[in-house]
Amino acid sequence: MNIVPGNASPILSSRIAEKTGGKLIEAEYKRFPDGELYVRIKEIPDDCVVVQSINSNDDLVYLILVLDALENSDVTLVVPYMGYARQDKKFLEGEAVSIRAVAKILESYAERIFTVNIHSKDAESWFKKLENLDAMPLIGEKYKGKDVVMIAPDKGSLERVKVAAKYAGCDYDYLEKRRVDAETVEIFPKKLEVEGRDVVIVDDIISTGGTIVEAVKNLEAKSVEVACVHAVLAGNALNRIYSAGVRKVVATDTVEKAVSEITVSSLISEVLQC
């Protein structure tokens, strides 16, 4: 198996190559003085797996250039973090459905596409060749045997947290918001009492950290940790989260950050070898 590592996913690419016994293909990435990007794949294989998360516009352009360079190869594409997936429908007339545009481009090059915990069913629906992998069991395994309560930041995230809690063997709940007055909103667990308990807030993506910060302010927990699949952590999000009193942040390596303690390499390697 030939693995082409994207600029955004070199560590995960290496881990996948190690687990599959694959060969890492050398790729060159650089930026010209005018800001344009350049890609060169130094050995063009007949077939390969490209591994590249989309956590920025540059990541997307680099990926398109990689795929173009591999125009004569049979390509299986792994996009561990599928950027633009939150722009999955029109809210105002004239808006682009960004993930639809991304899907059209990627599927024009790749035979198969794998991603991890794409943000929504709506986003997934724009693809025809996509298989969506679930890393929530891996997060659950991280906390297996620990006396914690897993909390979803809202009802929409409850099903994801339910999966993680099953593998952790712990209780779970979701946070509900109640407006007290024009300036005050209370955030509290729907059913469980978490006062004096160790809480893990679980979500698919942490971007700005705003939801986490508000949740921590309202939880009277013994301690709070945060676990997510995709640690986007835009700007000073990680500092905001720790400053709010969070003890620890844990994420997978779909986005390669200092907090990426859990690897999805086995999850991806298994489907690539099927």
Res 208: pLDDT: 93
198 labeled binding residue: no
Q: Say whether both 70 and 145 belong to one domain.
A: no
- The CATH number of whichever domain residue 36 belongs to comes to 3.40.50.2020
Question: Is position 19 within any domain?
Answer: yes
Res 186: pLDDT: 56
**Residue-range definition of the domain harbouring residue 163:** 136-253
Q: Say whether both 245 and 183 belong to one domain.
A: yes
Res 215: pLDDT: 82
DSSP structure class, residue 7: T
179 labeled binding residue: yes
Flag residues of the chain having pLDDT under 50. Answer: 180, 182, 185
Res 188: pLDDT: 56
Question: Is position 74 within any domain?
Answer: yes
Q: Say whether both 121 and 144 belong to one domain.
A: no
Q: Say whether both 49 and 148 belong to one domain.
A: no
Kindly give the pairing relationship between strand 148-152 and strand 198-206: parallel
Burial (Cβ within 10 Å: 0-12, 13-18, ≥19) of residue 177: middle
Question: Is position 179 within any domain?
Answer: yes
Structure confidence by residue, pLDDT tens digits, 140-169: 999 999 999 999 988 888 999 999 999 999
Kindly give the pairing relationship between strand 130-133 and strand 148-152: unpaired
Question: How many domains does the chain contain in total?
Answer: 2
Q: Say whether both 190 and 77 belong to one domain.
A: no
Q: Say whether both 248 and 164 belong to one domain.
A: yes
Q: Say whether both 22 and 40 belong to one domain.
A: yes
Question: Is position 259 within any domain?
Answer: no
- Buried (b) or exposed (e) across 129-142, using 16+ Cβ within 10 A? ebeebbbbebbbeb
Of 19, 89, 177, 248, the catalytic one is 177
Q: Say whether both 35 and 126 belong to one domain.
A: yes
Q: Say whether both 101 and 142 belong to one domain.
A: no
Q: Say whether both 78 and 162 belong to one domain.
A: no
Question: Is position 258 within any domain?
Answer: no
The rounded distance, in Å, linking the Cα atoms of 2 and 234 is 32
Res 33: pLDDT: 98
156 labeled binding residue: no
CA-based nearest residue to 127, from 94, 102, 92, 164: 102
Q: Say whether both 141 and 117 belong to one domain.
A: no
Q: Say whether both 150 and 127 belong to one domain.
A: no
Res 190: pLDDT: 59
209 labeled binding residue: yes
Catalytic-residue membership of 177: yes
Largest CA distance in the chain: 63
Question: Is position 27 within any domain?
Answer: yes
**Alpha carbons within 13 A on the beta-carbon side of 57:** 4
